[in-house]
């Protein structure tokens, strides 16, 4: 796979970054990470050296959600400011394509040649309300269902939509690829949809356990689902019949969540705890808190499952963690509010899976 084209930079800047023309391509066996920066664009990280290779031209600003196809050919970003997604040919053979989505596109999952993109017709600017805050009189807007736009990446076209609940957030697929699981923040629910028809199969209310479900992940064997409750400092564990079987206390404001590839451990990015927390996937006992940075939401393992890259928005850095020693080994600074991260080849993480 060739690297994405670099933005036009002066020769002096290229020399300073160590990304001369040779960086425009790399060997097919070269693993990379793509990081979306909410106040900038997308950067590419060489996973062998853990060095930034350069920016990737997505033709837009303000990317958040990010995904890549299994063959590495297409990179997809959800661009908040433009209300669209970029479909980027990673071989640089063609220019980025843009598909209008709607207001506040955020979460992206890629499966096959389709992208699933959440957006919120009722979205308002500003941070979410604090827990227990009085609702505004015009709170009816928050009752408008969110949507999941389904985009054919080959045609660069929205081919259908799934109607969710208010404030759709996390998206995950069942192991067999027949169902989609969606967390709905303000509705305090998880909805299960048929992948082919988009039909709502089941709605699971989590309000009695806590508030604001965000991250969601299926275990590698498909028998367990975990979701984080951001306002309740908690992770819920459900079985494959969508029954809650365990409530697990976490640090403050948990969001991104993922199993490792073996399914033996669960990792939770606890935003306000400033930690990546590690839990035993059988006993649910906490193994360790790994100190991180500020507003670390999403993370990805490397394809060999040996390292973890964590995007920390408010401290403007990418943190590299040894997945076995559970220790920080490197910090990649000077980012522009990093939001999401995925790798090619695909790996386990809060936004993707092999």
Residue of 228, 290, 302 whose CA lies nearest to 260? 302
Distance CA 162, CA 4 (A): 31
Q: In the prediction, which pLDDT does 336 show?
A: 96
Tens-level pLDDT at each residue, the chain (354 residues): 444 443 333 333 332 333 322 233 333 458 999 999 999 999 999 999 999 999 999 999 899 999 999 999 999 999 999 999 999 998 888 999 999 999 999 999 999 999 999 999 865 544 555 555 544 444 555 578 999 999 999 999 999 999 989 899 999 999 999 999 999 999 999 999 999 899 999 999 999 999 999 999 999 999 999 999 999 999 999 999 999 999 999 999 999 999 999 999 999 999 999 999 999 999 999 999 999 999 999 999 999 999 999 999 999 999 999 999 999 999 999 999 999 999 999 999 999 999
pLDDT digits 0-9 by tens, 225-240 = 999 999 999 999 999 9
Residue of 332, 280, 179, 184 whose CA lies nearest to 268? 280
Beta bridge partners of 289: 277
Q: In the prediction, which pLDDT does 90 show?
A: 86
Residue of 55, 48, 45, 52 whose CA lies nearest to 18? 52
Please report which helix (H) or strand (E) contains residue 171, including its range. strand 168-173
Q: In the prediction, which pLDDT does 92 show?
A: 81
Q: Is 146 left (phi over 0), alpha (psi -120 to 50) or beta?
A: beta
Burial of 73 (0-12, 13-18, 19+ CB in 10 A): middle
Q: In the prediction, which pLDDT does 286 show?
A: 98
Q: In the prediction, which pLDDT does 20 show?
A: 28
Residue of 343, 257, 260 whose CA lies nearest to 302? 343
Q: How many CA atoms lie within 13 A of 23 on its CB side?
A: 22
Q: In the prediction, which pLDDT does 127 show?
A: 52
Q: In the prediction, which pLDDT does 211 show?
A: 97
Beta bridge partners of 249: 234
Burial of 145 (0-12, 13-18, 19+ CB in 10 A): middle
Distance CA 323, CA 110 (A): 25
pTM for this prediction: 0.88
């Amino acid at each position: 796979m060739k690297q994405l084209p670099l933005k036009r930079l002066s020769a002096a800047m290229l020399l300073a970054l160590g990304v001369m023309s040779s960086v425009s391509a790399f060997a097919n066996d070269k693993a990379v990470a793509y990081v979306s920066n909410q106040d900038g664009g997308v950067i590419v990280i060489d996973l062998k050296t853990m060095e930034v290779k350069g920016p990737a031209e997505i033709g837009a600003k303000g990317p958040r959600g990010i995904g890549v196809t299994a063959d590495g050919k297409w990179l997809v970003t959800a661009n908040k400011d433009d209300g669209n997604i970029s479909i980027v040919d990673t071989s640089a053979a063609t220019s980025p394509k843009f598909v209008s989505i709607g207001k506040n596109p955020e979460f992206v999952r890629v499966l096959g040649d389709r992208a699933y993109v959440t957006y919120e017709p009722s979205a308002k600017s500003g941070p979410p309300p604090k827990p227990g805050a009085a609702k505004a009189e015009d709170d009816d807007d928050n009752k408008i269902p969110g949507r999941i736009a389904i985009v054919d990446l080959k045609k660069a076209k929205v081919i259908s939509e799934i109607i969710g609940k208010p404030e759709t957030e996390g998206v995950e697929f069942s192991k067999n690829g027949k169902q989609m699981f969606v967390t709905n923040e303000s509705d305090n629910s998880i909805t299960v949809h048929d992948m082919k028809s988009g039909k709502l199969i089941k709605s699971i209310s989590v309000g009695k356990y806590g508030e604001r479900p965000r991250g969601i992940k299926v275990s590698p064997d498909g028998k367990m689902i975990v979701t984080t409750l951001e306002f309740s400092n908690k992770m819920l564990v459900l079985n494959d019949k969508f029954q809650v079987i365990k409530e697990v206390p976490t640090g403050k404001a948990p969001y991104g969540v993922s199993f490792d590839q073996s399914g033996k451990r669960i990792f939770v990015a606890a935003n306000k705890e400033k930690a990546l927390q590690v839990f035993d996937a059988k006993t649910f006992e906490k193994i360790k808190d790994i100190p991180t940075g500020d507003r670390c939401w999403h993370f990805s393992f490397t394809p060999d499952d040996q390292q973890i890259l964590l995007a920390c928005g408010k401290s403007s850095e990418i943190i590299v963690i040894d997945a076995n020693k559970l220790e920080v080994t490197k910090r990649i600074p000077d980012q522009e509010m990093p939001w999401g991260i995925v790798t090619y080849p695909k790996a386990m993480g809060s936004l993707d899976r092999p």
